[in-house]
């Protein structure tokens, strides 16, 4: 079929995409894609869980109910402005009558953007930093129901160019997100100062000291005047660390291993001096203080379960989830 241009103007033809702000639509463009469905092929089946959202751009589809009654949809018609399905499970079976061109996006990604957009309300500038922030792996793990509470808990602080947010070696107190402006991140090693990066709206910093309970590992200076959004330690733990933690039981681990669909490893994050004798079979020891740097050696296709009791397990899972791994905490 003729390839359409994937741009914001096309997205505005479909609901609920047309209700998103300009900033969120720009994010959708980077997440959505075209798919082709050949004539007589099935797009989705009734009663299956819905994992993607679809809109018909060209061609024709039959939507079949449980009695095989068909409703014909033709690309470009008014009835195609809505998503093909909006329930958690498909209520109909979709079969291509002609070769079809459709738009497809993951349900969770669209749900996240809609949530962010509505949480931002009429604050266009706020929407920009929120939408960028929530594209990070860490924030994808937060339940949508928590997002509104999260953004209402942030407090805003104005800074001028040249202001130092914190020095390397300071005690961690806040987690920061850049709403407006830019910051310079520098680290000093053996009296040599090194510029690490310049960060702008939607980027965040300061989580390391809160997660690890260690002093700040860099100095942050305002490169351009702006506004930083802040969360204190207690709110950071309650709204980010704990919601991003999922627990599994030993029975669930055993069932997962027996299913054999994905490798699984247990991780013990205790201090080396706490390890007494041999670790349980299948457990690897990675102390919490080196977990992030060690993450590059781990297999992305493996499921990890942090088996250490207590808060350190939550922090270990937080670090690995942030690094892009599927990570759980063992229930004790």
50 membership: H or E segment, kind and range: none
CATH topology for the 245-330 domain: Oxidized Rhodanese; domain 1 (3.40.250)
* pLDDT value of residue 2: 47
* Structure token digits, residue 37: 């469905």
CATH 3.40.250.10 positions along the chain are 245-330
**pLDDT, position 133:** 74
Residue range(s) in the chain whose domain bears CATH number 2.60.120.10 = 8-109, 147-240
Angle at 107 between CA 4 and CA 180, to 5 degrees: 85
pLDDT at residue 127, as a whole number: 57
- The pLDDT value recorded for residue 60 is 95
User: Residues for the chain: how many in total?
Assistant: 332
User: Closest by alpha carbon to 181, among 235, 221, 147, 151?
Assistant: 221
Using CA atoms in the order 46, 50, 51, 56, what is the torsion angle rounded to 10 degrees? Answer: 70
Based on the number of CB atoms within 10 Å of its own CB, is 98 exposed (0-12), middle (13-18) or buried (19 or more)?
Answer: middle
What separation in angstroms does the CA of 93 have from each of 35, 87, 174?
A: 17, 13, 50
Buried b / exposed e along 15-51 (16+ C-beta atoms within 10 A): eebeebbebbbbbbeeebebeebeeeeebbeeeeebe
pLDDT for res 128: 67
Q: How far is CA 257 from each of CA 11, 143, 178, 302, rounded to the nearest angstrom?
A: 43, 27, 42, 11
DSSP H/E element including 247: strand 247-248
Per-residue pLDDT tens listing for the chain (332 residues): 445 678 888 998 998 888 887 777 887 888 899 999 999 999 999 999 888 999 999 999 999 998 889 999 999 998 899 889 888 789 999 999 999 999 999 887 787 777 666 655 544 445 567 767 776 766 766 766 667 778 888 999 999 999 999 999 999 999 999 999 999 999 998 888 899 999 998 889 998 888 777 899 999 999 999 999 999 999 988 888 777 678 899 899 888 888 888 899 999 988 787 777 778 777 899 988 788 888 889 998 899 999 887 778 887 888 888 788 888 999 87
Bridge partners of residue 139, in order along the sequence? none
Domain 8-109 has CATH 3.40.50.10140: no
Is residue 192 packed enough to be buried (19+ CB in 10 Å), middle (13-18) or exposed (0-12)?
exposed
Whether cis (ω within 30° of 0) applies to the bond prior to 16 is yes
Cα–Cα distance measured from residue 329 to residue 306, given in angstroms and rounded to the nearest whole number:
5
Do 96 and 41 touch, CB atoms closer than 8 A?
yes
Cβ(35)–Cβ(84) under 8 Å?
no
Domain 147-240, CATH number (from 2.60.120.10, 3.40.50.410, 3.30.450.20, 1.20.1250.20): 2.60.120.10
**pLDDT the model gives residue 288:** 82
Answer whether 43's CB lies under 8 Å from 94's CB.
yes
Which pLDDT does position 147 carry in this prediction?
73
């Amino acid at each position: 079929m003729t390839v359409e241009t994937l741009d914001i103007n096309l997205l505005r033809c479909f609901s609920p995409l047309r209700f998103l702000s300009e900033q969120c639509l720009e994010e959708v463009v980077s997440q959505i894609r075209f798919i082709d469905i050949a004539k007589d092929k099935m797009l989705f089946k009734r009663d299956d869980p819905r994992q993607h959202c679809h809109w018909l751009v060209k061609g024709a589809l039959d939507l079949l109910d449980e009695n095989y009654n068909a409703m014909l949809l033709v690309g470009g018609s008014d009835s195609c402005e809505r998503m093909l399905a909006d329930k958690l499970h498909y209520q109909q079976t979709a079969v291509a009558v002609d070769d079809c061109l459709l738009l497809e996006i993951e349900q969770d990604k669209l749900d996240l953007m809609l949530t962010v957009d509505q949480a931002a309300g009429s604050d266009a500038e706020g929407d920009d930093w929120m939408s960028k922030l929530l594209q990070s792996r860490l924030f994808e793990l937060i339940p949508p129901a928590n997002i509104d509470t999260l953004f209402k808990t942030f407090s805003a602080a104005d800074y001028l160019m040249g202001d130092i947010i914190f020095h390397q070696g300071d005690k961690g107190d806040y987690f920061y997100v850049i709403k407006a402006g830019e910051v310079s991140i520098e680290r000093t090693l053996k009296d040599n100062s090194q510029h690490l990066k310049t960060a702008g709206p939607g980027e965040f910093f300061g989580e390391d000291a809160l997660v690890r309970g260690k002093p700040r590992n860099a100095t942050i200076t305002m490169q351009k005047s702006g506004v930083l959004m802040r969360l204190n330690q207690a709110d950071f733990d309650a709204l980010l660390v704990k919601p991003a933690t999922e627990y599994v039981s030993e029975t669930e681990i055993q069932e997962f291993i027996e299913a054999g669909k994905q490798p699984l490893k247990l991780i013990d994050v205790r201090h080396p001096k706490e390890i007494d004798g041999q670790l349980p079979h299948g457990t690897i020891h990675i102390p919490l203080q080196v977990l992030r740097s060690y993450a590059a050696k781990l297999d992305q296709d493996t499921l990890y379960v942090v088996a250490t009791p207590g808060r350190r397990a939550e922090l270990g899972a937080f670090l690995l989830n942030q690094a892009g791994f599927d990570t759980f905490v063992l229930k004790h």
